[in-house]
Amino acid sequence: MTSDHWSNLLDPRIRQFFFLGFTGDDRRPSTIDRIFNRQSSSTVDERAFGIGGIPSTGWNFEDSGRTQYTEPAQGFLKTFSHKEFTRGIMVKRDLIDDNLEPQALNAAGNLGDSAFRVKEKAAANIFINAFSAATTATLDDYGTDAIGADSVALCSDAHDTSASDTTNLVNEGTLALSAANLSTTRQLHMALTDMNGDLLSVMPDELLVPPELEDTGLIAVRSAQDPNSANNAINPQAGRFTPIVWHYLTDANSWFLMDSGLRRRSLLWYDRVPLELQGPDWDRDTQTAKWLAYMRWSCGWTDFRFVYGQNPS
């Protein structure tokens, strides 16, 4: 057997363990697939406007005798620029000669697991940085930006109503998670207006929390009776929200209400190049085979109205 043949023979098993590491049944399911509108892309970037709106005035045909036409209010333009991500492993010839193949296969599985975590962290950073004070675009190590197309963070008290209306809208607060504060936040979320100043049809139906708030959230949204009352009072929040626990959220206190319909329109993930494993490449001088994982994506949001965040101190 020539020195590079062993790497070609090992390659199928390396690939098997790599993709098992990325999609293994023993891991928590990807939250990206659950909450992002995930799409493929065939261009260098993708561009999308935030949610526009048609005014509620001008519908009365009897007054004008003709149909009134209008252009939708223009939202902020969001450009999704795809970033490249790559990492590799090296397997030395002597590992195979000494019957240490399991070490090489474990390395491949760990590389796949690392690729999974990188994507989850990139997506989670959108919410981790939701209350950032940044006002200029700065990409982190995962290719995500703390600010949106309107130059403020996802959850803020300084959102402009539209690109032509600087009236501020608020989708952040400092309330701790409880059934009572769920009710308050729900009302605040439903009071958001569209780009014409009309009341938007927001219907928050999802509760996104870190693992530290999982039990509190379940009590608040699934208890039939008020968890803070001994008088058998009903809990109006029961059944209103689907709880979503994301183990990559790092703030133990922050939580978010989301409108699933608006979320699907606003929270976007583009796969420019899905995860692939390249190799093996053989280095004769070091007697080493290399495999390289490569992927390219972008993610972010086009309009903030899908979410209302609470960031208690």
CATH code, domain with 114: 3.90.1690
- 122 is in which domain, residue-wise? 5-24+31-52+76-310
Number of domains in the chain: 1
Is residue 184 helix, strand or coil? Answer: helix
Structure letter (DSSP) for residue 198: P
Evaluate whether residue 144 is within a structural domain. yes
Evaluate whether residue 59 is within a structural domain. no
92-131 confidence digits (pLDDT tens): 888 777 766 888 888 999 999 999 999 999 999 999 999 9
Residue 73 has pLDDT above 50, yes or no: yes
pLDDT at residue 1, rounded to an integer? 43
Evaluate whether residue 161 is within a structural domain. yes
Evaluate whether residue 62 is within a structural domain. no
* Location of structure tokens 């693992």: 211
Using pLDDT thresholds of 50, 70 and 90, give the confidence band for residue 305: very high
Any residues with CB less than 8 A from the CB of 267 and at least 6 apart, and which? 35, 36, 37, 126, 301, 306
Q: Tell me the residue length of the chain.
A: 313
Evaluate whether residue 301 is within a structural domain. yes
Evaluate whether residue 306 is within a structural domain. yes
CA–CA–CA angle 311, 212, 228 (5° rounding): 80
Evaluate whether residue 270 is within a structural domain. yes
Distances 121 to 126, 128, 141, 203, 276 between C-alpha atoms, Å: 9, 9, 10, 27, 19
pLDDT at residue 26, rounded to an integer? 67
Evaluate whether residue 225 is within a structural domain. yes
